[in-house]
Structure 1
Amino acid sequence: MISRRTLLQSLPAAAAGTVVLPSASQAEAPMSNHQVPAQYRLRLGEIEITALSDGYIPFSPEIILAGEPGAVAAALADTPQSQPLIGDVNTYVVNTAGRLCLIDAGGPSSFIPTLGRLEAGLAAVGIDSEQIDQLLLTHLHIDHIGGMLTADGRAMFPNATLTLLADEHDYWTDPALLASADAGFRPLVAAAQGAVAAYADRLILLSGEAQAGPGISTLPIPGHTPGMTGFRLHSGDEQLLMWGDVVHVPAVQFAHPDWRLSFDTDGATAAASRARVLDMVASDRIGVLGSHLPFPGHGYVSRGPDGYRYEAAYWDHFA
């Protein structure tokens, strides 16, 4: 009877008397040093979601504010997370009822050189910018709005309406914010105001939990910015939550959801929102899509002995 052991033992015998010498190299292949445009599709009932990577942001551990000195370094030492920390930047095309929506638009390579891959990603999946019907923004940070404009400042998506929460819009477009911003913050405010201005004639501002389109509704998640929203995607009995920036550093923030980010507008509110959302998706077993979760950013949250755990979803083969 053939077993795994006998089969393996038989392999050297089959090659007895044969000497195989290494052959000369037929061609030298240079290192490519780049990835192909990252894309991934999944189904949610009658909705098709395409995840596209806009690149990544190298984070410093100093952005994480923990309760005790050395706590972040100790937590990271127990994970395989590389240094510097890598924060993926994910965007999502949602095809629902014959309507193409884009959730977030990545960041500009002019500001962060490792970003700016959205346009190439859309081209790779056969989507032209003119086909996007609706642009939905979780918030107006620069790594979520950079792909909204062309190089000469025009709307990249000429046929798309722009949807975000009114609280977010009002905070960033307030002239007083730009006037009072310091030198480091001023370019971010100017970028947000310029991005919104390019879509001013087709702007949709929502409040609270509201219908944003077929199969899409808002879920306010304030704190990281004043008007950040998640987007509930639902079809029949199935749903996912695209939660924006609830988690930036998965290696430590699931286990320590109270740890805040140095650039949160209101850290205490952000931590409270994160606790609320993590409890909801874990209790109700709702799958999540995350802007900064490892690409494609699709997975599930469960409670652990301390804090929460994240598990990436299995690959959807469309079988």
Structure 2
Amino acid sequence: MHRRDFLKTTGVMAGGLALTSLIPNLVHASLTLGNTKISTLSDGTLGLPGDMVYGHLPQDELAPILEKYSLDRKRVVPECNVTLVQSGENKVLFDVGAGSNFMPTAGKILESLEGTDLSVDDITHVIFTHAHPDHIWGLLDDFDDPVFPNATHMIGKTEWEYWMNPETVNSIEPSRQAFAVGAKNRLSAIEDAVSFFKDGEEILPGIAAHASFGHTPGHMAFEVRSGSDAAMIVGDSIVNHHVAFERPDWHSGSDQDPETGAKTRIALLDKITTDKMQLIGFHLPNGGIGRCERKDNSYQFISEA
């Protein structure tokens, strides 16, 4: 039995019938652009302390936003949505989720994939928005083999150089040092086979990379286009459906460079609304697919689920 089959079999045995009942709910949402199908697959959720997201914000201005969206100030539970793009022969995953070693509520991408007509062997490309744990720690299985063995793995050159730099672990803030160690360990496993790209490049037919730095030093968003129809995969450059839209100018506690992150967020939201694009966000609700409406200097996320 292949290692991957062994892991799959033991996982199903452990989950039993409960896993089967969850599978249909893990294929969240989808949209079609010409001959291109875009779906989001759930990797589960995160559980974050409210202070991590809200603690540094002006509390008097924050309060009405929390009330408007019925948010819990003490705890944040964002979805994790891995994007699957199917176009011709290409079956492309954007990010691979958290794997089994980050949070117990995350790392569900393989269960979600079971709810489609695809297997890990069918994925032709894995493209990373950035190398934070909930996006890249699912790269390897428990035997340290790539989970998607036939895929070409692709990442922005700036992002790669940052996490592979041996000095990053010493220069990053202490609370993120595990992020640096985890990213370097996993990226090292594909070092001889990874492909790089830069801002503005069409990395696959109909898929172009857009620099969206700030959340990480080399974070990338991706425009998926078919004719006049387009959607933007924003990763974590727009990390929630409330504060990030209502006050995109506010600094986000999840961004490594908050000032750059805010400028990126404003520019992306402006482009998405001006060009009437749909957007797909890793942590946006109801599968993360929707559209954006401008309201003066703020915006609103409209879920398409």
TM range (shorter): 0.7 to 0.9
Q: Which residue of 1 aligns with 2:273?
A: 282
Give SS of 1:124's match: coil
Q: Which residue of 1 aligns with 2:186?
A: 195
Q: Which residue of 1 aligns with 2:214?
A: 223
Instruction: Say whether residues 1:81 and 2:84 are aligned partners.
Output: no
Q: Which runs of 5+ in 1 are unaligned?
A: 1-31
Residue identity in the other structure for 2:227:
G
TM-score, normalised to structure 2, is 0.87
Give SS of 1:260's match: coil
Give SS of 2:192's match: helix
- Taking the aligned partners of 2:50 and 2:289, their CA distance within structure 1 comes to 24
- Change in CA separation of 1:41 and 1:188 when aligned onto 2, cut-off 3 Å: same
Q: Which residue of 2 aligns with 1:291?
A: 282
Alignment of 1:39-118 (within 5 A): 39=27, 40-62=29-51, 63-64=53-54, 68-82=58-72, 84-118=75-109
Q: Residues 76-100 of structure 1, C-alpha deviation per residue, up to 9 Å, x if partnerless?
A: 1232234522211100111112111
Instruction: Say whether residues 1:238 and 2:229 are aligned partners.
Output: yes
Structure 1: which 4+ aligned runs deviate by more than 6 Å? none
Q: Which residue of 1 aligns with 2:138?
A: 147
Residue identity in the other structure for 2:26:
A
Task: Indicate conservation of the 8 Å contact 1:287/1:301, yes or no.
Answer: yes
Task: Indicate conservation of the 8 Å contact 2:26/2:111, yes or no.
Answer: no
Q: Which residue of 1 aligns with 2:162?
A: 171
- Taking the aligned partners of 2:49 and 2:282, their CA distance within structure 1 comes to 18
Would you say how many aligned residue pairs link Structure 1 and Structure 2?
Answer: 283
Q: What is the Cα deviation at residue 182 of structure 1?
A: 6.2
Give SS of 1:212's match: strand
- Taking the aligned partners of 2:50 and 2:240, their CA distance within structure 1 comes to 9
Give SS of 1:151's match: coil
Residue identity in the other structure for 1:38:
L
Q: What is the Cα deviation at residue 188 of structure 1?
A: 1.1
Residue identity in the other structure for 1:44:
L
Match of 2:125 among 119, 134, 147: 134
Task: Indicate conservation of the 8 Å contact 1:61/1:73, yes or no.
Answer: no
Task: Indicate conservation of the 8 Å contact 1:81/1:251, yes or no.
Answer: no
Give SS of 2:236's match: coil
Match of 2:294 among 295, 298, 303: 303
Q: Which residue of 2 aligns with 1:24?
A: none
Give SS of 2:222's match: strand
- Taking the aligned partners of 1:205 and 1:172, their CA distance within structure 2 comes to 14
- Taking the aligned partners of 1:99 and 1:80, their CA distance within structure 2 comes to 40
Give SS of 1:94's match: strand
Q: Residues 109-132 of structure 1, C-alpha deviation per residue, up to 9 Å, x if partnerless?
A: 422111010011112213211211
Task: Indicate conservation of the 8 Å contact 2:99/2:139, yes or no.
Answer: no
Task: Indicate conservation of the 8 Å contact 1:65/1:260, yes or no.
Answer: no
Q: What is the Cα deviation at residue 65 of structure 1?
A: 5.9
Residue identity in the other structure for 2:46:
I
Instruction: Say whether residues 1:38 and 2:26 are aligned partners.
Output: yes
Match of 1:270 among 261, 273, 277: 261
- Change in CA separation of 1:67 and 1:53 when aligned onto 2, cut-off 3 Å: closer
Residue identity in the other structure for 2:167:
A
Instruction: Say whether residues 1:206 and 2:194 are aligned partners.
Output: no
- Change in CA separation of 1:183 and 1:302 when aligned onto 2, cut-off 3 Å: closer
Relative to structure 2, which stretch is displaced further, 258-267 or 288-297? 258-267
Task: Indicate conservation of the 8 Å contact 1:245/1:290, yes or no.
Answer: yes
Relative to structure 2, which stretch is displaced further, 96-105 or 174-183? 174-183
- Change in CA separation of 1:67 and 1:112 when aligned onto 2, cut-off 3 Å: closer
Q: Which residue of 1 aligns with 2:14?
A: none
Q: Percent identity?
A: 27
- Taking the aligned partners of 1:226 and 1:75, their CA distance within structure 2 comes to 29
Task: Indicate conservation of the 8 Å contact 2:236/2:281, yes or no.
Answer: yes
- Taking the aligned partners of 1:78 and 1:179, their CA distance within structure 2 comes to 40
Task: Indicate conservation of the 8 Å contact 1:103/1:138, yes or no.
Answer: yes
Q: Which residue of 1 aligns with 2:6?
A: none
